[in-house]
Amino acid sequence: MADVLYDEVPSLDLADFTSGSPDKKKKFVQDLGTAYNNIGFVALRNHYLTDDLSAKLYDCIKKFFALPDTVKQQYEIAGLAGQRGYIGKGKEHAKGRNTGDLKEFYHVGQEVKDSDPIKSEYPNNVWPKELPEFENIALEVYQRLEKTGVQMLQAIALYLNLPEDYFDKKVKHGNSILRPIHYFPIENPDAVPADAVRAAEHGDINLITLLMGASADGLQVLRRDGKWIPITALPEQLVVNVGDMLERLTNKKLKSTIHRVVNPPREHMNKPRYSIPFFMHPRSEMSLSALPSCVSSEFPKQWQDITAGDFLNQRLREIGLKK
C-alpha cells in the first residue's frame, strides 16, 4: 500500500462501525487500517465518553495537581513501579534518554470485581482522600474508554483478517492504565535542563491509546516523511493511536507512530497543560509473537517472541519507572 501523507489526523465515526450497516462497517475498517498503516493515529467521534464526564475528570485532576507537593507525594507508593497512584515531577523519561520529562501524573488501573485470578497481579488503586469524588469519576471514564477500545480492537481484528472477537478475551481485565498528566508551569525556564521537554519523542508501550481532548496545544506526531504534524484532540473526539505492542504483534504492518509534547514558547512556559490518555493493555499472558499473516519473505519477522507482561516490564525499566 502506498504511503498517504496526511496533513492532519483522519477523523472516523465509531457509529459507522456499530450502526448495523455492513457497508459502513466495512468502510470504517478499511479507513482505520489505511490510517494505521500510515500515520498510526485517528480522531474518533461517537465514542462512549461524554463531554460532561470528561469535564468532570479534568476539573478533578486540576484540583489534585494544585495540591502541595508534600500532599501529592503521600500517594506515591514505593515498590509499585509507578503503576498506581502519583508519579512525581521528572520521574519518567523517554526510552533512550536520561533527562526526565517536565510532567507529573497519576495512574488509575484495572478493577477486577469477579473471581478472575488475574486480580492477584494488580495492585489496588490509590485514591486521594482530599478528592472523594475522584474515584467514581475516574472509574466511570476508565470503563467508557475501555468499552470504546474494545470496539476499536474489533475493527482492527477485522482489518487484519482475524475473527472480530480476536482481542476480546485478551483485553478482558487487561492491565490498562488511565493517566491524568500535568505538564506543570515553569516559572524560570533557565532552571531546568536545556534538553528538558514536556514529553520527549516516544512510542506508547500498549496496544492502543485513547486520548481525551488536551487542555492546550503541543502534541505532535512524526509523519513517515520526517515532518512533525500537530494534533489536537477536539472536545467531542478521542485521538486513538497504535502502540508498540500492536506494532509488534502485526510485525510493523500497523505503525506505532513516534509522537511528543513540545514545550510552548518561552513566554508561555509558565502556563500548565493537562492531558488524560488511556493506555489499553492486554492481559500479561498475551503473546506478542508476530501474526503469521503479517510475516513473509518481503516482510520478515522483526522481533523475538515475548509476552505482553514481559514486554511491559522491559519498557518500564527503559523509561525509568522500574529499577
41-83 pLDDT, tens digit per residue, is 899 999 999 999 999 999 999 999 999 999 999 999 988 888 9
pTM for the model: 0.93
210 pairs with which residues across the strands? 240, 278
Q: Where does the pLDDT of residue 120 fall: very low under 50, low under 70, confident under 90, or very high at 90 and above?
A: very high
196-254 pLDDT, tens digit per residue, is 778 788 889 999 999 987 656 788 888 878 888 888 767 789 999 999 999 999 999 99
In a domain, 261, yes or no: yes
Q: What's the mean per-residue pLDDT of the chain?
A: 90
Tell me how many domains the chain contains.
1
Nearest Cα neighbor of 76 from 109, 111, 107, 110 is 107
Contact 251, 297 (CB under 8 A): no
Domain hosting residue 159, numbered range: 11-318
In a domain, 6, yes or no: no
In a domain, 284, yes or no: yes
More reliable by pLDDT, 281 or 5: 281
Q: Write out the H or E segment, with its range, that includes residue 308.
A: helix 308-318
In a domain, 242, yes or no: yes
CB neighbourhood size of 146 (10 A): 20
In a domain, 77, yes or no: yes
In a domain, 102, yes or no: yes
Looking at the chain, the whole-number percentage of residues with pLDDT higher than 70 is: 96
Asked whether the predicted pLDDT for residue 319 surpasses 60, the reply is yes
- Cβ partners under 8 Å of residue 230, min gap 6: 217, 219, 220
267-286 pLDDT, tens digit per residue, is 878 888 899 999 999 999 99
Look at strands 277-280 and 177-178 and give their pairing. Answer: antiparallel
CB neighbourhood size of 55 (10 A): 13
108 pairs with which residues across the strands? 178
In a domain, 4, yes or no: no
Render the burial of 5-36: b for 16+ CB within 10 Å, e for the rest. Answer: ebeebbebbbebbeeeeeeebeebbebbbbbb
Cα distance between residue 227 and residue 230, in whole Å? 10
Segments of 153-222 assigned E as strands: 177-178, 181-183, 199-202, 208-211, 219-222
In a domain, 58, yes or no: yes
CA separation, residue 179 to residues 3, 46, 275 (Å):
32, 22, 8
Q: What is the DSSP string of 42-69?
A: EEEES-S--HHHHHHHHHHHHHHHTS-H
| CATH classification of the domain holding 76 | 2.60.120.330
- Enter the C-alpha cell of residue 267: 513566554
